[in-house]
Structure 1
Amino acid sequence: METLWSDFINSEWHDWRGSGRSEDRIGQEKWQNYFLNRWHLEAPVPADAEVIRTMREFRDRLHDMSERCARGGGLSHAELEELNAILDLGPVKRRATEEAGELRLGLVPVREDWRQVMAEVAAAFIRTLIDGEAGRIRVCDNPDCRWVFYDDTRNRAKKYCEDKTCGNLMKVRRFRAKKKLEKERGENPESDK
């Protein structure tokens, strides 16, 4: 399952097939439009160079925090303060609405800019931790991928961002490594038949 915060982190793409290629999409207008539309957020496109630099720094720190959570660790006091500083960039106001005859109270952004977007990303990440879901944060086991994802499986045992891509690739790599090792040892599994 993709979340607001994992989609933001994964704007730094790495070729999961192992070519070594990577792409930083956060500065691309195409990615900015995709991200804002997907998560129903508002900000000017293209983002200016200073905001892009700030978003990259935040993304890298959030990736580090996610990796630590994926290993079972928690956030330090300093990291919480970093997140609070990002939250301060995006003030909100309360708004009462009525939907289908039901009264709701929600938070509405005061501004529509990239700093507000980063605050929403930080809030979504913190909400995951508050809800006790830090144990569902994962980093793909494919070392070439680095994709961060939220494990929504019942047994919380998902290892790969996508079973059909990274999962299959790693299965093939393990099979080939096993066959190579058998060949190096002079083993012939066909002769056992």
Structure 2
Amino acid sequence: METLWSDFLNSEWHDWRGNGRSEDRLEKPAWQERFLSDWHLVASVPMPAEEASAMRHFRERLHLLAVRLADGDGMEDGDWQLLNEHLALDVVNRRLIGEPGAVRLVYVPVMEDWRHVRAEIAVSFGQTLLEGEKARIRVCDNPDCRWIFYDDTRNRTKKYCDEKMCGNLMKVRRFRARKKAGEEQGEES
């Protein structure tokens, strides 16, 4: 399951096949438009330079936190402060929308900009923590990939961001390593 926060973190892309290629998609207007559209957010595209810098800095810090949580570490005071710093950037109005019997509370941003986007990312990450799901935060076991994902499997054993891509690649690598080790043992006999 993709989350707003994991989509944001994975804007720093690494080629999962192991050729060493990587790409920072955060400043690409096409990525920005797709990201905003997918998550029903509004902000200016292309992202202003000062916002790009703030977004990169937030991504770095949130990535480090996600990796620590994936390793089984707990939240520290500074981690909550990180999320609260970005929540404080956003001002929202509350509105009741609907008809009697089907009324819901919505939060309407005062400004729809990249600060609001950062706050929504912090909310998304915070909700994962508040729902007691920090143990579901994972880093793909493919060392070339480094993708951060939310493990939505029932038994919480998902190891790869994508079983068809990284999962199959790693199975092939393990098979080839076993085959090579077997051949080397056969030569020694």
Fold agreement, TM-score > 0.5 = yes
Tell me the equivalent position of 1:149.
149
- Aligned Cα RMSD in Å? 1.4
2: distance between equivalents of 1:19 and 1:141?
Answer: 16
Q: Does 1:129 align with 2:151?
A: no
| Residue ranges of structure 2 left out of the alignment (5+ in a row) | none
Compute the TM-score of the two structures, normalised by the length of structure 2.
0.96
1: distance between equivalents of 2:81 and 2:91?
Answer: 16
2: distance between equivalents of 1:99 and 1:63?
Answer: 41
2: distance between equivalents of 1:79 and 1:129?
Answer: 11
CA 63–99 in structure 1, closer or farther in 2 if over 3 Å, else same: farther
1:101 to partner: Cα distance = 4.4
Q: Deviations over 1:120-162 (max 9, x none)?
A: 0011000100000111111100000010111111100000000
Compute the TM-score of the two structures, normalised by the length of structure 1.
0.94
| Seq. identity, % | 61
> Which 4+ runs in 1 deviate beyond 6 A?
none
Q: Does 1:77 align with 2:77?
A: yes
Tell me the equivalent position of 1:57.
57
Tell me the equivalent position of 1:158.
158
Tell me the equivalent position of 1:176.
176
Q: Deviations over 1:53-99 (max 9, x none)?
A: 11011111111111111111122101211111111111222110116
1: distance between equivalents of 2:74 and 2:109?
Answer: 28
1:184 to partner: Cα distance = 1.5
Tell me the equivalent position of 2:14.
14
1: distance between equivalents of 2:46 and 2:100?
Answer: 37
2: distance between equivalents of 1:43 and 1:95?
Answer: 21
**Count of aligned pairs:** 188
